[in-house]
Chain A
């Protein structure tokens, strides 16, 4: 299992190629990459703040739970912080399991929990000014399906 919290850019393709590559018991690899989206066409950057220490612990707990629940062969979470430009990758999740259902479900679980339970906060800098992104009720509701 790998958890990385970093300011640096990552290469999602290279990460995925390396992920679980030596495991011959894996039949399914699922990945998700989150990207900075320019919702209204005037985003200059997205600033991501986090809580060093708690971030790694919280993600580690979420990953441990996913691994145990879906019997994953491996799991990867990379999440960036700092100032990111539109189109830049924010984070990625990859899961490896014997079968695809477990890999897909575990990736969905990880994404839903990272969204609402990992201590990151997004701020959008646009032509109108700077605004903290508000958490959505639907993101909290998404946790109930697990």
Chain B
């Protein structure tokens, strides 16, 4: 699946997006896999309460299933307007 990062999440991880091969069943599982990879992922995902997630461009929850999802995006709370 395509995993995207925005704002300071993108800066901490160092890339805007990547293709991730995973068998994770929920967003939380995917985060656990990413955190185990490298320090920069651990730094970005250390405080989940500071993050939001979108699945296929819809805001979602961290316990949401990834079944059929093609695009996951992680970002801080939005500051539009």
| A79 near B80: Cβ-Cβ < 8 Å | yes
Name the distance in Å between A125's Cβ and chain B's nearest Cβ: 14
| B57 near A120: Cβ-Cβ < 8 Å | no
Residue of B with least CB distance to A47: B7
8 Å CB contact of A51 from B8, B73, B79? B73
A contact patch SS: mixed
Q: B8, B10, B81: which has the most chain A beta carbons within 10 Å?
A: B81
| B59 near A117: Cβ-Cβ < 8 Å | yes
- A116 at the binding interface (Cβ < 8 Å): yes
| B75 near A121: Cβ-Cβ < 8 Å | yes
8 Å CB contact of B57 from A34, A51, A135? A51
| B76 near A132: Cβ-Cβ < 8 Å | yes
